Amino acid sequence: MDSVYMGDIMAVIGRDVWCINIVGTAQANRTGANIGFTKSMRKGTYKSICWQHSWRLLCFAVWSDNALVKTLSNFHGLEILDAGMGVLRKKRDADGKRERTKTEVPCPAQTCDYCKTFHDKGNGAEANYDLGGKSRLHNWLPKLIF
């Protein structure tokens, strides 16, 4: 889900009405978690903080990648994955320059799942989906003549 649509209400509807798991970027003011950002959350440090929603089983997480990545999930817990769980980033050295090789970094479990399933024009994954309303299978089905 995109932060424009993702909030507590959408997560609850997804879980209780549609019976689907949803994770997506969210704005901090659109969640019921008691969120208190601290000045220690600096970009590029790969630190994580998770909050439990005040009245539902929703998890809001903030991860300090190149920007503060804020995600809301209706099926994840307060789990932060250790480095070595598959999230690779180019860290910055003391001078602020990016390293040449990627290093495994820690992040919240829901952020890891969101990154693995996020599709947009930037990563080319939209080519796998027909956005015109018909499935790709539609063109392969034989035409039935009655």
- CB neighbours (10 Å) of residue 3? 14
Residue (of 137, 70, 139, 83) closest to 110 by Cα position: 70
Q: How many CB atoms lie within 10 A of CB 26?
A: 27
102-145: pLDDT as tens digits: 888 899 999 888 888 776 555 454 445 444 544 444 444 444 44
Domain boundary assignment for the chain:
8-120
Q: Which string of DSSP letters, residue by residue, matches 59-91?
A: EEEEEESSSEEEEEESS--S-EEPTTSS-EE--
Name the most confidently modeled range: 32-36, 65-69, 117-121. 65-69
Contact partners, residue 100, CB within 8 Å, separation at least 6? 90
Number of neighbouring beta carbons within 10 Å of residue 86: 11
